[in-house]
Amino acid sequence: MRIDVDFYNEKEEQAFSGHPRAGRFQKMVRDGLTIDPLEFLANSMFMEQKLNPGWSTRDELRARAAGRIEEFDEYFDSTDTLRARFPAADMEYRTERAGVAAALSAMDSVFDTHSADWEKIPVSGEKDLDFRVAAVGDGLVTVEAKASIVADPAKKEPGISKHKKSIKDKKAAQDGNRAQERLLGTIVAIPTSHSESARIWLVDPPIDDLDIEPAKHRVLTRLRYYYRVISTIGTPHMLIALSNRIRVLESVSDWSSLDGVPLVSGQGKGFGVPISFSTGIGDMRGHTHGFVMRRKEKLVYVGIDLDAVVMVGKQSFAQVATWESRLSGKEKRDIWVDWDTIGGLGQFETEHIVGAGPSGRQFRFTTFTNRAGTTYGEIPIREKV
């Protein structure tokens, strides 16, 4: 799907012209943002923090992930752009969630970040959805993402103007911070009409003081992300070690002393790919492992690049901070599914079964793996008659 991108006005364009990555912003404005719907879902699956209630067990995590998929299908159309199926009054928080995912996807193309880099942060007690990231070697980038359902995204309707004023007011209240060039404001205008395209408006951003070392922030943000993803897919013993390591890194000042110290079990053994990740549901070539759930007329596969699991276990901070999946992109994959792992889904038929055994079936379908290593795919099915 394609989303138009533009500076809010000439004054904002001038403000962005002094940004270190001005050329990339200008290219994105010229070419727009193109993102595969499967990638969009993969990017938005694990945005929330697991520390909140409802994110404490694998079943709760999977239920939340499943809700993202069902919600996106029911409330948005991604045939050619990001489009709302209902007017603003019926969309509530869903508008912001889709807008955040779109805005962060756009920022990924500018800063070479991916979904494992972004972390939600509260700012001054506000309810705004603010994210921060160590996008460059010596600084942090904060993105404030807002969104509205509009009739015409190319026009600055009252909802869009209100968001812009909010961003500017916050900036004025904190003006003078030397980190100004690191902060960005985005307003995502999502249409309901099939004749209009979604649009991201770029705004000279608010300023906030982020008191954390950028390199440490990037490593911690990525480790927290992979903890959430791995927790959703399974419960390997390495999660205990990873949770403990994150707590230690958060509390110590000399965090670099743990660089290269691998995660180990209670018996002092290192972790590779968990045994539980080599059976049940996964890529026949051993590249990914995940879970399958049924959402109406399709089976949904959510997985992770197993190289990411190995990388997390090694705890090389340079590798954690720069790692990108070699599987990144869209590809047809053969996924083996044990029946007992998806019990209760009912009887169904699909042309995507290419192999069978006494314990399960082999499916072939298109998946998208984002640069963070999260894999997402859909298998159309129908009830047996």
Hey, where are the domains in the chain?
Answer: 2-212, 215-383
Interacting residues of 72 by C-beta distance below 8 A, sequence separation 6+: 40, 41, 44, 78, 98
Nearest Cα neighbor of 375 from 313, 297, 315, 285 is: 285
What is the Cα–Cα distance from 103 to 208, expressed in whole angstroms?
A: 19
What is the Cα–Cα distance from 11 to 372, expressed in whole angstroms?
A: 35
CB 8 within 8 A of CB 160: no
Q: Beta strand 2-7 with 199-203: parallel, antiparallel or unpaired?
A: parallel
What is the Cα–Cα distance from 43 to 371, expressed in whole angstroms?
A: 9
User: Whole-prediction pTM value?
Assistant: 0.80
Main-chain phi, psi angles of 58, to 5 degrees: -60, -40
CB atoms under 10 Å from CB of 86, counted, come to 14
pLDDT, one tens digit for every residue, the chain (385 residues): 999 999 999 989 988 888 878 899 999 999 999 998 888 888 777 766 544 545 456 666 677 777 777 778 888 998 899 999 988 877 877 888 888 889 889 988 888 888 888 877 655 544 444 555 644 555 777 788 889 999 999 988 888 888 888 777 765 655 544 444 467 889 999 999 989 999 999 997 544 455 678 889 889 999 999 998 998 888 778 999 999 999 999 899 899 999 999 999 888 889 988 887 877 788 888 899 998 887 778 888 999 999 999 999 999 999 999 999 999 999 999 998 886 666 545 577 889 989 888 778 899 999 999 999 999 999 888 877 6
CB 102 within 8 A of CB 3: yes
Torsion, Cα of 44, 45, 51, 56 (10° steps): 170
Beta-strand runs (E) in 86-126: 119-121
What is the Cα–Cα distance from 356 to 369, expressed in whole angstroms?
A: 25
Nearest Cα neighbor of 49 from 186, 229, 187 is: 229
